[in-house]
Each structure stands twice: as C-alpha cells, then as structure tokens.
C-alpha cells in the first residue's frame, strides 16, 4: 500500500477518501499535499506510478491494464470499506476512468464523484491521434520542447542533464501506456451513476468534453480556469479546485 499510495495527512476518521492520479511523467508531490487543503472529512491519497520516486528501480508499466490491475488490487479493501472519489489530470484522468470502470464492472463499486482534468472524454475520437504517435522515433529535443510548451516542469530542472534524462524516459514510458488505453461505449450502456466534474485551463488546447455526459446518469459539470495545461499548479486555481472538490464530496450525501 505505502509503495503505491502516498498519504501525507492521514485521517483515519475521514468519511471519504480522494484518490488522485498524476499526469504523464509526474510524481506525487503536488497532489499528495492536497490533504492539508481539504476538510477533515476527506483523506487524500496519491497514486505513485512505477519507475519514479521510491519505485525508481521498478520497471515502468507496460500497458493501461496492468496499471489498472495494480491500483485495484492495492486499493480494493480500502475502497470497499469507505466511500471514495477520484481526481485525475491528463494521463491521470484516463487512468482514473479506467480504474473506476474496472471497479464498477468487476466489483460493483463506484466513486461518489469523478473529477477529471485536462483530458478528452474517453469515448471521443479526439483520443485516436495519440495512438499513431511513434514515441520511440520522437527526438529528445522535440519532447523537451513539448514539455516546455505545456509547462509543469520548472525550466531550471530541464537544464539539469540527469533530471532531463529521467523526465524524458518517464514521460515517454507513461505515454506508451496511454497509447494502450481503449474504451468503446456500448450504445445503450451508461457505466456510471456518479456526478462527473471536468476541469481544464482556458489557454490549453480544446478538449472534447461533451462525451463525459454520456458516461453517467448523474450530473456533469464543466469548469474552465485561467492558465494552460498545468493551470492546476497556479495557487489560486489550486485553492478553487480543492474547495470545489471538498464541497462536491461533502454534498454527495455520505
């Protein structure tokens, strides 16, 4: 559990757990700290992906299914005993959706709320171009340029050769996992009944979000905040996100 999940602020008497899923190439440092911003009724965990931090010596995940199975096997007991919500940004949004879908289909478990950020709806054709990108053929300079464009990594770190090399490898491996993600919605099937909230940055590329409405019988909400792909790193946006997430969870009738 401690290897895969980071909980900085433990709250054993919390009514609900918020499980956070970071972006491609990301670690747990930011989202794990949300525990101090949310109310005492919510305990925050952040998923630590293989190949980084204390899991640096482990091989990277090979596909989305293996990541879903790992997260599920570690969390299942805890998710069965207490209500939970998911938050995922970018790559983490797709992984959180895949985990939620697996939990619903195999165990009849469902989040009280699904928060997704900086990602297309999983049933959108806008995801398809991701799959045709050849990660192995991508030049390091092109990937670094992309990472500088979307932000999220201080430029001083990108100028450190060891950090840059490690970040490139981690991002590429996570992107390969993303390329194995697939979801085809059955015509009459609505997988979830929980509310879904979508966040994105106003200066980020446009995302196809409308498809999220087809995935739940609950309410779907959309919020555009100032900033680019990593708008959530801005302190004012972080405050909005954590307050809004707290309010949604506390209003979920736990």
Active site residues: 90, 229
What CA–CA distance (Å, rounded) separates 123 from 214?
Answer: 9
What CA–CA distance (Å, rounded) separates 14 from 19?
Answer: 13
Q: Which two tokens stand for residue 35?
A: 């525990």
What CA–CA distance (Å, rounded) separates 159 from 176?
Answer: 24
Chain-centre distance for alpha carbon 249: 17
What CA–CA distance (Å, rounded) separates 131 from 64?
Answer: 13
The residue written with tokens 């931090």 in the block is 53
The count of other CB atoms within 10 Å of the CB of residue 250 is 15
CA distances from 128 to 132, 199, 225 (A): 7, 21, 26
Q: Phi and psi at residue 178, in whole multiples of 5°? A: -55, -35
Classify residue 216 by its DSSP letter: B
Q: Which two tokens stand for residue 48?
A: 């630590």
């Amino acid at each position: 559990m401690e290897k895969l999940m980071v909980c900085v602020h433990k709250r054993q008497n919390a009514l609900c757990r918020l499980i956070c899923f970071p972006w491609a190439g990301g670690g747990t440092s930011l989202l794990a700290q949300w525990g101090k911003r949310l109310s005492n009724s919510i305990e925050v965990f952040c998923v630590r992906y293989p190949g980084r931090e204390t899991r640096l010596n482990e091989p990277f995940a090979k596909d989305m299914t293996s990541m879903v199975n790992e997260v599920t096997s570690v969390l299942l007991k805890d998710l069965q005993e207490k209500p939970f919500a998911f938050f995922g940004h970018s790559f983490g949004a797709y992984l959180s959706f895949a985990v939620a879908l697996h939990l619903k289909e195999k165990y009849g478990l469902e989040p009280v709320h699904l928060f997704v950020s900086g990602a297309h709806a999983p049933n959108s054709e806008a995801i398809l171009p991701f799959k045709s990108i050849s990660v192995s053929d991508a030049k390091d300079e092109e990937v670094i340029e992309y990472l500088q464009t979307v932000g999220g990594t201080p430029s001083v770190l990108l100028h450190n050769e060891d950090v840059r090399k490690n970040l490139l490898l981690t991002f590429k491996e996570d992107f390969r996992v993303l390329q194995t993600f697939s979801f085809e919605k059955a015509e009459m099937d609505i997988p979830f009944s929980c509310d879904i909230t979508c966040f994105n940055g106003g200066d980020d590329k446009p995302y196809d979000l409308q498809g999220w409405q087809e995935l739940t019988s609950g309410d779907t909400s959309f919020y555009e905040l100032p900033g680019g792909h990593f708008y959530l790193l801005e302190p004012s946006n972080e405050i909005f996100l954590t307050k809004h997430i707290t309010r949604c969870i506390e209003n979920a009738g736990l």
